[in-house]
A and B are shown apart, each in its own frame.
Chain A
Amino acid sequence: AQSVAQPEDQVNVAEGNPLTVKCTYSVSGNPYLFWYVQYPNRGLQFLLKYITGDNLVKGSYGFEAEFNKSQTSFHLKKPSALVSDSALYFCAVRDPYKLSFGAGTTVTVRA
């Protein structure tokens, strides 16, 4: 089965600093990887995905993610975090009909 892991339960950064949320994957074959964000009392919002092609994927709200095959990682990044980026972030992998999600990382951006 395909799976992803998010090694950090929480990430705290100051506004304006770079933000990184880590994700590693374990798949057989080519991975289809996704990032979603969840704000309080809301559903999951799609940020970006990697299917094939460029290893650097750009998504919504200034986020990007880098696919690294040798390190089996798909870390989410934002060059300059905003307080409004505070939310719960999920990494996911296609498996094959469903999405298998990581446990989630809570991001807190302090002003």
Chain B
Amino acid sequence: ETGVTQTPRHLVMGMTNKKSLKCEQHLGHNAMYWYKQSAKKPLELMFVYSLEERVENNSVPSRFSPECPNSSHLFLHLHTLQPEDSALYLCASSLLPGSGETQYFGPGTRLLVL
């Protein structure tokens, strides 16, 4: 798991707060992903970045704003979240998407919105 790191590991925020989740990969990959894992629901892809360009935005509300300044770092900026946004947010990285490359996941950030 040290190939992909995420900070913070736990976050509690109010609905009016602004916070950011950080992901860093040390695997030399050039694609990065944000997934949301909620209880009793399958993992949902939120965003995909390939070579620092967003290639997929999976109908995610605008209160989630991703940023990929370089191929090693990925952020998820959060503002005016709702309690139903409480979940485990997982970052992953891979070589360029489109074939059989493996995605490697970080440990996740457990988010609680009050």
Contact = CB atoms under 8 A, between A and B. Distances in A.
Interface residues of B, number: 28
Contacts of B107: 41-43
Contact of A42 (B1, B33, B55): B1
A94 B45 contact: no
Interface residues of A, number: 22
Interface string A34-51: 101000011111100101
A51 to B, nearest CB: 4
A90 B37 CA distance: 12
B70 to A, nearest CB: 19
Contact of A43 (B45, B56, B98, B108): B108
A90 B43 contact: yes
Interface stretch (A13-21, A67-75, A77-85, A98-106): A98-106
Chain A, interface SS category: loop
A99 B100 contact: no
B102 to A, nearest CB: 5
A45 B100 contact: no
A111 B110 CA distance: 30
Given A42-B1, A44-B105, A45-B105, A101 B42 contact: yes
A41 B10 CA distance: 10
Interface string B42-58: 11010010100001101
Contacts of B43: 90, 99, 101
* 3 closest Cβ pairs, A-B complex: A51-B100, A43-B105, A98-B45
